[in-house]
A and B are shown apart, each in its own frame.
Chain A
Amino acid sequence: MKRVISDLALGVRLAVGGSRKSWARLALQGVGIGLGVALLLFAASLPSVIDARTDRQAAREIVAEGNGPAPLLAEHQSHAFRSDYATGYYLKALTPDAPVPPGIDRVPGDGEIFLSPALARLLDSPRGELLRPRFPQKVVGTISQAGLQNPNELTFYAGSADIREDDNAVHGWGVARQGGGMHPVLWLLSVVGLVVLLFPVLVFVGVATRLAAAQRDRRLAALRLVGAAASRVRLIASGESLAGALAGLVVGFGIFFGVRPFVDRISINELSAFPSEVMPTPALTLTVIVAVPVLAVVTSLLAMRRTIIEPLGVVRDQKPVRRRVWWRLVPVVAGVALLVSQIGKITQTEKPNQWPVVFGIVLLMLGIPVLLPWLVERVVFLMKGRTPALQLAVRWLQLDSGTAARVVGGVAVVLAGTVTLQMMLAGVEQEVQAKEKKQAAFHYLSVKPRQGADTNGIAAALEKGRGVTALHRVEQAWGQLDSGGYVTLNIAPCAALTKQATIPNCTDGKAYSVRESTGLPAAQAGDVVTFRHSGERWTVPAVEVIEGTGSIPGLLITPAAARGLVPFGTEVFVELDPAVPDAAEHARNAMAGYSWQVYSYFGGQDDTDEAERVFGVVRRALLAGSLLTLLVAAASLLVVALEQVRERRRPLAVMAASGVPRGTLARSLLWQNAVPLAISTAVSLATGIGLGVLVIRVIGAEVAFDWAGIGLITGIVVGLTFAVTALTLPSLRRATGALGLRTE
């Protein structure tokens, strides 16, 4: 045991080496692995963040049942404001000990309001000017973290004496939490995102521990020569990797705690979180702390399985072993097969069997770094150097294509993942935008007064609103068909109906049935509707089937055809002047006095900006993430290139001394970096696009290509190649200088 520790310590000693170069190597490993560790820690915090969020959400659910009279009345209301929603409760305490909702210290009295910090900020800012009329109450406090789902949530608790007892009794707050479902597509997107983000991290941890492998092999050979047995050399090598992994852990925790305070600034609500909650679960933290060093040690041991470190390595270069291809193809083939088997299995609601998809993606991603060394070897083997520079590069790559392939393997995974994500984003984005475009054609605000609200008063208030050109009242009723389906009945004169649907020659006395997305009309003549509120039954008269436009579903019935039908509610369609900016907000403000009593929905609301913003943020985050990873990969490429120059200092110096122009040597360095990178870029683009197509097929969405993004990433890779080569030039100059001819 003591010997094991002392061997590990010797490995650590070798890793820190003492020279500036080995410190630089260690620092690079530390930063590289550290970035990975930080990412892993954030990922490991997700469960606690989601957990806490779900808990808080459950804690502010209303308990509607209880003994005796209700102590509190509550009306839920969502104030739409442009593309945001300020959602909260209007409350009326009936007893002094009425239950207080989480996040505030008392139930607000009449005309008082508690705001969430984000809503308070919005109302204070010029941006929130048009929202202010809807919150005339006196602000008496801020909702604390306990009452918020996320730091950017727009929410409030207002007191209102107008609330009448109805079915809005509150006996308490907080229900047992139930598992929240995630949209399957979103879920898949996150799975791919996580895999794509985390997998390169793992690859990089592997690569980082194997930086300067050739030099390490020589160093270990020297140890073998003085009589360290193979097992001990492995232990010492493990010690070396351990040093890098430990440095990485320290850096990683540093980055994690450094970045954590800023997570509440993330502008996408769903992604923002309270810093105090971003805490990896103990089990996952432990996993990271253990897994990273273990991974580092295991990869370096696995890598050493190939290059048996023999004492003779001191004097002779081992001939590299030819790589075999068959097992390298296994992950790729298996991954593709798994994904193909899932095509069409995911629908809008049904969660796909997650494991085949996850495994498929992981396997395909894994296939890249596994296949690349073989591919680079084969390609390089077939290449012939036309120019002396290319020949030098090719010959070197033939001798040691592994190191280069490993480094670019990391790059390739990032690239492939980025391309895939970009494609998925592009696909989803296209769909969302198409939908938004379709809706943007409507300029109606649909207003639904609550049961018992003063509909006439509301209508009168609306008429005075800025930008309001007309009002159409539609009486409504809801009922169940005998077939089990639900149907909405809309009763209005033709003048109102034709504004909401395309009805060819509408005449009073006719009824129309809107074709639903299933292709069938909402109801047919002879169907019997049972009304929920009264229990009465009504037979559907002859109907004409019309194409729906989305704004009113169900049956459209002219007053003459609605005989015997007692409407239950009213919906007011407010026609707005498209020329007046924010007409919808002005209209909403016009009826601000009715606060919780009315619900409005703006069909023409232009959400494309919002979609653009969300996608923009996601795209930027993705780009930043992949750039960061690419930078790390470039940094490791740089280290490898520098090590190469260092390792081959003598031959380089001899060549320079014997008159080989430095330009030739520099170009050979460029080729050395460019050839593997070109191969890996090609492979990763192919894999990325292939994976993208497969995953999109699995979702069942349109395939779209984000050529600009792909081009950008490819351009960056090319740029990095040049940058890395340029950064190696000073050391090449030094190596080819007089000092280069020294040994060791």
Chain B
Amino acid sequence: MSLLRAEGLTKSFGKTHALEGAGITIRAGEVVAVMGPSGSGKSTLLHCLAGILPPDSGTVHYGDRELTAMNDGERSELRRTEFGFVFQFGQLVPELTCLENVALPLRLSGMKRKDAERAARDWLGRLEVDGVADQRPGETSGGQGQRVAVARALVTGPKVIFADEPTGALDSLNGERVMHLLTTAARETGAAVVLVTHEPRVAAYSDREVVVRDGRSRDVEFAR
């Protein structure tokens, strides 16, 4: 049973055809690496999958609901409750402390401040960054910031985590630490991870990979 399924996605930016009939299937709880050359459309595919960029054509299904047919409110709700995001940088709100950042999705869902921050502190602890809870993102190291971002992605107990080059700005030791924490936490909570990366050692944390070339994707199934 697939959790997230995309078929025949196309997306153009002016004359650039970023996606030309890409498809992908994500099963619950698996970690899938999306690889491919630069500019092949990996990020665009991820954005379409997560419903933050509407494709020109093609469909994305989340369970039995069609993401591409939802309105903005529904997609926002989905992002808040079912999805989590980790990007290379920029996803944290610089004005809020790390703790507030992690608590943010919970508070947006209407949770009380105290409860939200308790849960947030818990996740910061699991990602071994409780020390920076009261600092703002600008005051943390890149690795700490990414772990805060991972904590924020996981705090709502999402079904899918979208990660686009989450370790792109980190050295290999920090990068692997983040990947280890991310995949371990995801496996513990049963979240699937869609991981865009061009680093093989980061991709090695996945269960399988999908290769995107010239806007077309190829599932590479390999015996586990």
Q: Which A residues lie at the B interface, using CB under 8 A?
A: 2-3, 6, 10, 13-14, 17-19, 22, 218-219, 222-232, 310-312, 314-315, 742-744
Q: Evaluate contact between A19 and B95: CB separation under 8 angstroms.
A: yes
Q: Scoring B residues 73 to 108 as 1 if CB is less than 8 Å from chain A, else 0, what string do you get?
A: 100111111010101111111111100100011011
Q: Which residue of chain B is the closest to A7 with respect to CB atoms?
A: B108
Chain A residues closer than 8 Å to B142, beta-carbon distance: 743
Q: Does B61 sit within 8 A of A, measured CB to CB? A: no
A227 and B109 CA atoms in complex are apart in Å by: 9
Q: Which residue of chain A is the closest to B88 with respect to CB atoms?
A: A315
A223 and B72 CA atoms in complex are apart in Å by: 14
Q: Evaluate contact between A13 and B96: CB separation under 8 angstroms.
A: yes
Minimum CB–CB distance from A612 to chain B (whole Å) comes to 54
Contact of A222 among B47, B80, B93, B136 (CB under 8 A): B93
Q: Evaluate contact between B52 and A225: CB separation under 8 angstroms.
A: yes
Minimum CB–CB distance from A127 to chain B (whole Å) comes to 60
The secondary structure that dominates the A interface is helix
In the A-B complex, the 10 residue pairs with the smallest Cβ-Cβ separation, listed nearest first, are A227-B80, A229-B76, A227-B79, A17-B95, A311-B52, A744-B138, A229-B73, A226-B105, A314-B90, A222-B93
Q: Evaluate contact between A222 and B52: CB separation under 8 angstroms.
A: no
Q: Evaluate contact between A232 and B95: CB separation under 8 angstroms.
A: no
A311 and B83 CA atoms in complex are apart in Å by: 13
Could you give 10 example pairs across A and B, Cβ below 8 Å?
A: A13-B96, A13-B100, A17-B95, A227-B78, A227-B79, A227-B105, A227-B109, A228-B80, A230-B76, A315-B88
Minimum CB–CB distance from A140 to chain B (whole Å) comes to 68
Chain B residues closer than 8 Å to A218, beta-carbon distance: 90
A744 and B108 CA atoms in complex are apart in Å by: 23
Please judge, given known A-B contacts A10-B107, A226-B105, A227-B105, whether A311 and B94 are in contact too, CB under 8 Å.
no
Please judge, given known A-B contacts A10-B107, A18-B136, whether A310 and B52 are in contact too, CB under 8 Å.
yes
Q: Evaluate contact between B77 and A227: CB separation under 8 angstroms.
A: yes
**Most interface-central of A10, A19, A231, A311 (chain B CB within 10 A):** A311
Chain A residues closer than 8 Å to B53, beta-carbon distance: 310, 312
Chain B residues closer than 8 Å to A744, beta-carbon distance: 89-90, 92, 94, 137-138, 145
Q: Evaluate contact between A314 and B91: CB separation under 8 angstroms.
A: yes
Q: Does B152 sit within 8 A of A, measured CB to CB? A: yes
Q: Evaluate contact between A223 and B79: CB separation under 8 angstroms.
A: no
Q: Inter-chain contact count A-B, CB under 8 Å?
A: 93
Minimum CB–CB distance from B104 to chain A (whole Å) comes to 6
Q: Scoring B residues 6 to 31 as 1 if CB is less than 8 Å from chain A, else 0, what string do you get?
A: 00000000000000000000000000
**Most interface-central of A18, A227, A230, A231 (chain B CB within 10 A):** A227
Minimum CB–CB distance from A296 to chain B (whole Å) comes to 19
Chain A residues closer than 8 Å to B109, beta-carbon distance: 227
Q: Which B residues lie at the A interface, using CB under 8 A?
A: 43, 47, 52-53, 72-73, 76-81, 83, 85, 87-97, 100, 104-105, 107-110, 136-138, 142, 145, 152, 164, 169
Q: Evaluate contact between B136 and A19: CB separation under 8 angstroms.
A: yes
**Most interface-central of B52, B97, B107 (chain A CB within 10 A):** B52
Q: Which residue of chain B is the closest to A218 with respect to CB atoms?
A: B90
Minimum CB–CB distance from B158 to chain A (whole Å) comes to 10
A229 and B79 CA atoms in complex are apart in Å by: 9
A314 and B72 CA atoms in complex are apart in Å by: 17
Q: Which residue of chain B is the closest to A229 with respect to CB atoms?
A: B76
Q: Evaluate contact between A227 and B76: CB separation under 8 angstroms.
A: yes
Minimum CB–CB distance from A298 to chain B (whole Å) comes to 22
Chain A residues closer than 8 Å to B138, beta-carbon distance: 742, 744
Q: Evaluate contact between B73 and A225: CB separation under 8 angstroms.
A: no
Given contacts A219-B94, A227-B83, 9 further A-B contacts (CB under 8 A): A2-B110, A13-B96, A13-B100, A222-B90, A223-B104, A226-B108, A229-B76, A743-B90, A744-B137
Chain A residues closer than 8 Å to B91, beta-carbon distance: 222, 225-226, 314
Q: Evaluate contact between B72 and A230: CB separation under 8 angstroms.
A: yes
Q: Evaluate contact between B95 and A6: CB separation under 8 angstroms.
A: no
A744 and B164 CA atoms in complex are apart in Å by: 18
Chain B residues closer than 8 Å to A17, beta-carbon distance: 95
Minimum CB–CB distance from A614 to chain B (whole Å) comes to 51
Chain B residues closer than 8 Å to A312, beta-carbon distance: 47, 52-53
Chain A residues closer than 8 Å to B152, beta-carbon distance: 226
Chain B residues closer than 8 Å to A224, beta-carbon distance: 52, 76
Q: Evaluate contact between A229 and B104: CB separation under 8 angstroms.
A: no
Contact of A225 among B79, B96, B169 (CB under 8 A): B79
Chain B residues closer than 8 Å to A3, beta-carbon distance: 110
Q: Evaluate contact between A225 and B89: CB separation under 8 angstroms.
A: no
Minimum CB–CB distance from B199 to chain A (whole Å) comes to 18
Q: Evaluate contact between B95 and A311: CB separation under 8 angstroms.
A: no
Chain A residues closer than 8 Å to B76, beta-carbon distance: 224, 227-230, 232
